[in-house]
A and B are shown apart, each in its own frame.
Chain A
Amino acid sequence: MKPLAAIVAVSEMKPGRYPQYNGMEMYRQVIAQFLREWPALRPTDISGLLSAPAGMASADGTDVFAHEKISEELGIEPSFSETINAGGCTYALMLVRASLAIERGLCDSVLCLGAGRFPNVGSGMAEMMSKLISHPEFEYPYGTYIPPIFALNATRHMHEFGTTREQLAQVAVSQREWSLLHPDALMAPQGRLSIDKVLSSRPIAYPFNLLDCSVPSEGGSAVLVVSPKIAKRYAKKPCYLFGFGEKHTHSSISQAHDLTTLGSRETSAQAYRMAGVGPGDMDFAQLYDSFSINPIIYAEDLGLCPKGKGGAFFAGGRTAPGGEFPVNTYGGLMSFGHVGDASGQTMIVEAARQIMGIAGGERQLKKADLGVVHCYGGMMSEHATLVLGSQA
């Protein structure tokens, strides 16, 4: 396997509510924590920088010049830098863009930054969000918002494959178990879940109850990507990128060609092919989980189980701590916290920690040589799969 890039340093803010910070201040908090955790780094170590827009979907406005402001504050003059956005898919694509830039010699390291916000429900941002995440002219008038849009995927999956609400609930139960092993997980203090607890939580949009939904919060993270040639200078055991796939299939849910097989089938096939591996070689998966249906569809599309069997894949604790195949080892968006679009980088941070062997405590997997990360942006409309591993 040929490494395309190497992750050598990661850090993540504790998810929560940070009303005292605007978009740029969230970035400063992320960076300050990153520099505290990796004190040997100097401005000369960073020759590329990628950021997402600052203050996305927040009332104080979105700043698409985040990359130049952050670079200036860091005291760096990168030879590769931009602010990019593909929703939750942004950070997997940053890793892709960083690896291509490094391969072409534009730079030899890229700092990837995210700081996400999620507006409070009913905070007056709901209409704006609705127009952003669905077609502003042809979908918004029907009362579209995020949970019912994903519920359309879920109802269709239940119809085509007989997936049950108990199986959906099992995803939430399994991920809560993982979150209990993460010191920063937002929902860990709430304790364990049961299928009954999920099924008896208040209904949001059929088939989702409250506990089928991720927890809106705020946070952010940093990932330092370097050329595989210099990776060992920074980390004893770097996390290498071996393959990736990217696909953008639609924007409005009513225009999706399919609700149960998504762009993820193509992106995962491409990522495995590039890495020269298959789904059977994976030791774990991190699957973007705004709602309980998502990991079920991704487990299928990524070939971790046959199409239609995603519900059964999560049943009986198979994906929970101690199970056969660990999924979302940090608790996922549903129990760690959904830090806006930056949740797409949380998954990369966790995959890197597992592969680098620094996840800590009981959460650290005994075998984490190869893992797959799948992120999406929008309403499961933009897709990226990453194959990450420890062996250069």
Chain B
Amino acid sequence: MSNVPVNPKPVPEINAHSKPYWDGAQRGELMIQRCRGTGKAFTYARCWSPYDFSPDPAWEKASGRGTVFSYTIVYQPPYAAFKADCPFVMAIIQLDEGPQMMSNILHCDPESVRIGMKVKLCFETRSGGFKIPQFEPA
């Protein structure tokens, strides 16, 4: 019991179409999709391509490399589950493949984060052993 956090940080409610993304995360991989018509990569998991509506976009493993596009240091937690993490970094990461995604930046002094900083994929384990893709300084 002592290992169970009082207010566990959230895990997502997974949908049928996004299962490959979260299955990939449990394997330690960041999965992105690519439009079968235009060849362009995108986040987040969708049933169709937002570029040409082509169905069933292809899944592929991303490099896990990216750059900080913007960030903030959160001092006031959104709710109790994040209280122990404060101050923590919330950032938009631009993946080397092009698309952007939300992340925290872990394993660093929050004040050391800068726009343009190179980051690499890591994972945070939440309740039930569920892995969430995260980033840390490269």
Contact = CB atoms under 8 A, between A and B. Distances in A.
Interface string A119-142: 000100011001000111111111
A137 B14 contact: yes
A203 interface: yes
Given A143-B88, A206-B75, A138 B9 contact: no
A128 to B, nearest CB: 10
B47 interface: no
A156 B79 contact: no
A156 B70 contact: yes
A204 B77 CA distance: 8
Nearest to B115: A159
A257 to B, nearest CB: 10
A156 B100 CA distance: 14
A331 to B, nearest CB: 23
Please tell me the size bucket of the interface on A: 35 or more
B92 A152 contact: yes
Contacts of B116: 159
B80 to A, nearest CB: 8
Interface in A142-160: 142-145, 147-148, 151-156, 159
Contacts of B81: 143
Contacts of A143: 9, 74, 77-78, 81-82, 85, 88, 90, 104
A142 B91 CA distance: 9
Contacts, number: 111
B115 A205 contact: no
A44 interface: no
Contacts of A139: 102
Given A136-B13, A143-B85, A155-B71, A253 B76 contact: no
Interface in B9-45: 9-15, 18, 43-45
Contacts of B79: 122, 126-127, 130, 145
Nearest to A157: B70
A54 B29 CA distance: 44
A140 B10 contact: yes
B102 A144 contact: yes
A187 B55 CA distance: 52
A136 B104 CA distance: 16
Contacts of A134: 102
User: Among the interface residues A142, A144, A148, A152, which one has the most CB atoms of the partner chain B within 10 A?
Assistant: A142
B13 to A, nearest CB: 7
Interface of B: 9-15, 18, 43-45, 69-79, 81-82, 85, 88, 90-92, 100-104, 115-116, 126, 132
11 contacts: A127-B78, A137-B44, A138-B43, A141-B132, A142-B104, A142-B132, A148-B74, A152-B71, A203-B75, A255-B100, A259-B70
The 3 closest A-B pairs by CB, nearest first: A151-B72, A145-B78, A206-B73
Interface of A: 122, 126-127, 130, 134-145, 147-148, 151-156, 159, 202-207, 252-255, 259
